[in-house]
Amino acid sequence: MPDTLPAKRAGEAPPPESSELFQAVGGEPGLRAIIDHFVDRLFEDVMIGYLFRAADRSRVKAKEYEFAARQLGAPITYSGRPIPDAHRAHRITGGQFMRRLQILKETLLTFRVPANVSEPWLAHTLSLQSEITNNALDECDPSHTNRARSTPG
């Protein structure tokens, strides 16, 4: 490898030529509008909104923006907590993970985000599932079940 190409380190800004996806959503103003709408939907959602009741909405917007921008190749650094640390205490189930994914899909459709951006974004989100929830995507947390127990006899 030529020594003109420095090794990539965690948290390091990517080279500007890799920010095409970030530019495709309108750069900072475009992505901030998408994330603001997305986070508002998360906080107000009937299924998962309760998880955010003690969270600081403007902080979540700011950190989700950085995380998404970085992932789309913007030359910025994510300054939030590591993803597993931010979510561990919430004991997020597979179904809750899927609900956030659905809200993200709907948000990207609302903002007419092109498929060459939305597909890798959604795939990247799915790839983080094991850092956020311990059970499979289509499973519920067994300790949260409200199914009636079958009693013998």
The residue type found at 61 is K
Nearer to ligand HEM, 16 or 50 (CB): 50
User: Minimum CB separation from ligand HEM for residue 60, in Å?
Assistant: 5
Task: Kindly state the tokens that stand for 123.
Answer: 């795939």
User: Minimum CB separation from ligand HEM for residue 32, in Å?
Assistant: 14
Nearer to ligand HEM, 19 or 78 (CB): 78
Cα 77 from Cα 57, distance rounded (Å): 20
Nearer to ligand HEM, 12 or 16 (CB): 12
Q: How far is CA 127 from CA 101, 132, 137, 147, in A?
A: 12, 10, 11, 30
User: Minimum CB separation from ligand HEM for residue 13, in Å?
Assistant: 17
Task: Kindly state the tokens that stand for 38.
Answer: 């997305």
- CA quadruple 105, 110, 113, 114: dihedral sign: positive
Task: Kindly state the tokens that stand for 152.
Answer: 């013998």
User: Minimum CB separation from ligand HEM for residue 152, in Å?
Assistant: 37
The DSSP 8-state label assigned to residue 10 in this structure reads T
**Where does this chain bind ligand HEM (CB under 6 A)?**
48, 51-52, 55, 59-60, 63-64, 67, 80-81, 83, 86-87, 90, 92, 96-97, 100, 125, 128, 132
